[in-house]
Amino acid sequence: MIPTSPSQRIGIVTSRPEKLADYFPTAAEPDFLPTEPPFTPDDQLLIDELRRRGHQVSAIVWGADTSRLAERFDRVIIRSPWDYMDSDELRRGFLRWLESLAATGLPVENELPVMLWLMDKHYLLDFAAVGVPIVPTQLIPAGGTFDLEVFLQQHGAAVIKPAVSAAGAGLEFLPDRQTAWSFQEEFTERCQRGAHLVQPFLPEVQTNGEWSLVYLGGDYSHGVHKLPARGQIMVHAERGGSLRFADPPAIVRQMGDRAAAAVAPAFAKRGDRTCRIPLYLRIDIIETAGGALLSECEGVEPELFFRARPGSAARFAELVESRESR
């Protein structure tokens, strides 16, 4: 029997319906398609579970007027606003919208300060500061300069990412010094518009792929193993990568648990701040010859792969019901 709790009016934040065409279907899952746009098919599993429990669930396309949301909803869950990273203007607009949403007084998951922290990938340096092994990362601040050719001379190949991005948006792979030299001018221009990360390329990405570990309420739920297409480095299914649902090897699971436990102390590195355990996180890990490394910790818009573990959507729903507003 489905547990009962007071019915809530829950808003699920997502993106424009047409954005879903960029992600579904994929070659890995050609039949996994949206049935109730603008909800993603993965979010739909959660929404169906919440509705089975008696809750009213509606979509909120981010950017919508926030002035009346407190009258319509008891709680808001940020899930799939995947189009905010499509341009610098949209990224800035999304940040303003989140702040406007927080000003309504509605309970929002994950909490706004945690989401703002995790939207900027130099949070990786905060994890490193509390002892979590990360993919080696150099932060180039907005307006800064950096010699890519010298970096390639030291590391052989590199990956460039905007500090604020998702789903591989803006990622560049530099396989050699000539490519780095050719890209230098454009990179300098990009850095004038925003901060970037420079990381040595880890060849294990092409052989070992990347593990995504989902944590609900701080506890491990399930894992997804992703591999890029032959000769590529992007593991995303919508970019030709493959995926399988499986629990990770012990070394990867241990790193995921370590990173999940380090969220609060890493967050505190940005000042004397505390946070409660996020409702959801997806922790991405690369297994290398030197050990497992934290690649990303996502708490704003990650796909949570509820289909990977029967009962995970129900667990998420239970957490929603049990968490008090703050």
**What are the extents of the domains in the chain?**
9-110+304-322, 119-134+204-298, 138-200
Beta partners for residue 197, in sequence order: 139, 161
Whole-angstrom CA distances from 89 to 93, 94, 97, 119, 222 are 6, 9, 12, 15, 35
pLDDT over 70 at 8, yes or no: yes
Q: In this structure, which amino acid lies at residue 92? A: R
Quick: pLDDT tens for 34-68.
999 999 999 999 999 999 999 999 999 999 999 99
pLDDT over 60 at 268, yes or no: yes
- Residue 88: the pLDDT is 82
- Residue 168: the pLDDT is 66
Dihedrals phi, psi of 130, to nearest 5 degrees: -105, 15
Contact 265, 117 (CB under 8 A): no
pLDDT over 90 at 326, yes or no: no
Quick: pLDDT tens for 135-181.
999 999 999 999 999 999 999 999 999 998 766 678 899 999 999 99
CATH architecture of 138-200: 2-Layer Sandwich (3.30)
CA angle 229, 168, 231 (to 5 degrees): 20
pLDDT over 80 at 238, yes or no: no
**CA 257/CA 204 separation, integer angstroms:** 21
pLDDT over 90 at 265, yes or no: yes
Residue range 66-94: mean pLDDT, rounded: 93
Q: Looking at the domain that runs over 119-134+204-298, which CATH code has it been given?
A: 3.30.470.20
CATH tag for 9-110+304-322 (out of 3.40.50, 1.20.1070, 3.30.110, 1.10.10): 3.40.50
pLDDT over 50 at 1, yes or no: no
pLDDT over 80 at 299, yes or no: yes
Contact 197, 160 (CB under 8 A): yes
Q: Mean pLDDT in the chain? A: 92
Name the residue among 153, 186, 151, 156 with its Cα closest to residue 172: 186
* pTM score of the predicted model: 0.94
Contact 281, 298 (CB under 8 A): yes
Contact 226, 210 (CB under 8 A): yes
Cα dihedral 27, 31, 34, 35, rounded to 10, equals 170
Share of the chain above pLDDT 90, in %: 80
Share of the chain above pLDDT 70, in %: 95
- Residue 230: the pLDDT is 81
Across 132-168, b (16+ Cβ under 10 Å) vs e yields bbbbebebbeeeeebebbebbeeeebbbbbbbbbbbe
- Residue 2: the pLDDT is 55
